[in-house]
Amino acid sequence: ISTLILAEHDGGAIKSQSISAVEAAKSVDKQTSISLLLAGSGPSLQQAAAHAASCHPSISQVLVADSDKFTHPLAETWARLVQLVQQKGGYSHIITASNSFGKNILPRAAALLDVSPITDVIAISSSNQFVRPIYAGNALCTVRYSGNNPCMLSVRSTSFAVSMDSKSNEAPISQVDLSTFNEDSVGKSRYINHTAQVTERPDLGNAQVVITGGRALKSAENFKMIEKLAEKLGAAVGATRAAVDAGFVPNDLQVGQTGKIVAPKLYMAFGVSGAIQHLAGIRDSKVIVAVNKDADAPIFQVADYGLVGDLFEVIPELLEKLPEKK
């Protein structure tokens, strides 16, 4: 068994979701040799490669594809790259994170390799048997892969926590030989730009505490209360689809079946009714707190602590009484 990890990097470092994919590879097989594939160009790629080499003790080598073609992680070039690296390496498993990077690239690469990928894996029972949620997490499906190699997975990073003692020796870094790279798809899609909210708050997918607001916040102005509370608790801010659709916050804060999946220690929902699509994204939280005026809101059925009350009174009181987070 040998595993190829399709890794994502930003600002010269490997993204934490990609390191979770390494943890998933270890659950496939403890003895597996793990190769991490990185693509990009320039100094930030070299920096990321150096980080990759020492970010996890189970990584046995780092493969680097350095070319202007890979400056932006486009699915067209990445899928061809995966095909090339697989032809040379003959890996038994190819794993990536189930985020917008992995979701975009993995199925395309799988089609080129004539493989059915298994997306959104939350548990690994054996080297060819995996559990994934279906119907917004209202059912769990165990799937067996019976095809020829490679078995291709995307994994939810919230289900594969990275162990803290992840210091390691330097894994060797080698360059991918791109002389036989299939150029057919190069240039057919072009990166134009990327707009992101700049925030000091922790990343929604990895935060220990998440504070979420729903439609009941009524306006973007009121939603700032949620942000204030999040600041106080060192938390990430999330939102329901209704709050995003109403324009209170940008789309990347949406939590749920089609948005972000979170699994914090503490999840606090204010004015969230608890649609099944939203609950799908918070199911693995350790402690769920719900504050809602409506005592019959479905969110109370999954909340560890429910408080029936007006969030416009509860949040200010919490802001006053909660200790400052250092």
Partner 1 sequence: MKIMVAIKRVVDYAVKIRVKSDKSGVETLNVKMSMNPFCEIALEEALRIKQSGLASEVVAVSMGPSQCVDTLRTGLAMGADRGIHVESTAALYPLTVAKLLKALVDVEKPGVIILGKQAIDDDCNQTGQMVAGLLGWPQGTFASKVLLDTEKQVATVEREVDDGLETLCLDLPAVITTDLRLNQPRYATLPNIMKAKSKVIKKYTPQELNVEVKSDIEIVEVTEPPKRKAGVIISSVDELIDKLRNEAHVI
Which residue of 129, 168, 174, 219 would you call a contact of partner 1, by CB under 8 A? 129
Using CB under 8 A, which of the segments 33-41, 44-52, 58-66, 318-326 binds partner 1?
318-326
**Residue 123 near partner 1 by CB under 8 A:** no
Using CB under 8 A, which residues numbered 280 to 299 contact partner 1? Answer: 283, 286-289, 295
- d(C-alpha 288, C-alpha 266), whole Å: 6
Using CB under 8 A, which residues numbered 71 to 100 contact partner 1? Answer: 74-76, 79, 99-100
CB of 268 to partner 1, least distance (A): 9
Output the CA angle 302-306-308, nearest 5 degrees. Answer: 130
Instruction: Give the list of residues 6+ apart from residue 251 with CB closer than 8 angstroms, or none.
Output: 244, 259
Residues paired with residue 132 on neighbouring β-strands, in sequence order = 141
**Residue 300 near partner 1 by CB under 8 A:** yes
Count of residues that interact with partner 1, criterion CB under 8 A:
92
CB of 226 to partner 1, least distance (A): 16
Q: Are 21 and 160 in contact (CB under 8 A)?
A: yes
175-214 footprint of partner 1 as x/- string (CB under 8 A): ---------xx-xxxxxxxxxxx-------x---x-----
Which residue of 40, 89, 133, 271 would you call a contact of partner 1, by CB under 8 A? 133
Instruction: Give the list of residues 6+ apart from residue 200 with CB closer than 8 angstroms, or none.
Output: none
Q: Specify the residue, 122 or 171, whose C-beta has the smaller distance to partner 1.
A: 122
**Residue 218 near partner 1 by CB under 8 A:** no
**Residue 148 near partner 1 by CB under 8 A:** yes
- d(C-alpha 276, C-alpha 248), whole Å: 21
Q: Specify the residue, 27 or 277, whose C-beta has the smaller distance to partner 1.
A: 277
- d(C-alpha 147, C-alpha 133), whole Å: 21
CB of 50 to partner 1, least distance (A): 23
Q: Specify the residue, 37 or 106, whose C-beta has the smaller distance to partner 1.
A: 106
Q: b/e map of 302-325 (b: 16 or more CB within 10 Å)?
A: bbeebeeeebeebbeebeeeeeee
Residue 121's SS3 state is strand
- d(C-alpha 150, C-alpha 155), whole Å: 16
**Both tokens of residue 121?**
């894996």
Q: Specify the residue, 223 or 300, whose C-beta has the smaller distance to partner 1.
A: 300
Residues paired with residue 175 on neighbouring β-strands, in sequence order = 64
**Residue 317 near partner 1 by CB under 8 A:** yes
Say what angle helices 311-321 and 220-233 make with each other, to 10 degrees: 30
Using CB under 8 A, which of the segments 21-29, 168-176, 221-229, 241-249 binds partner 1?
241-249
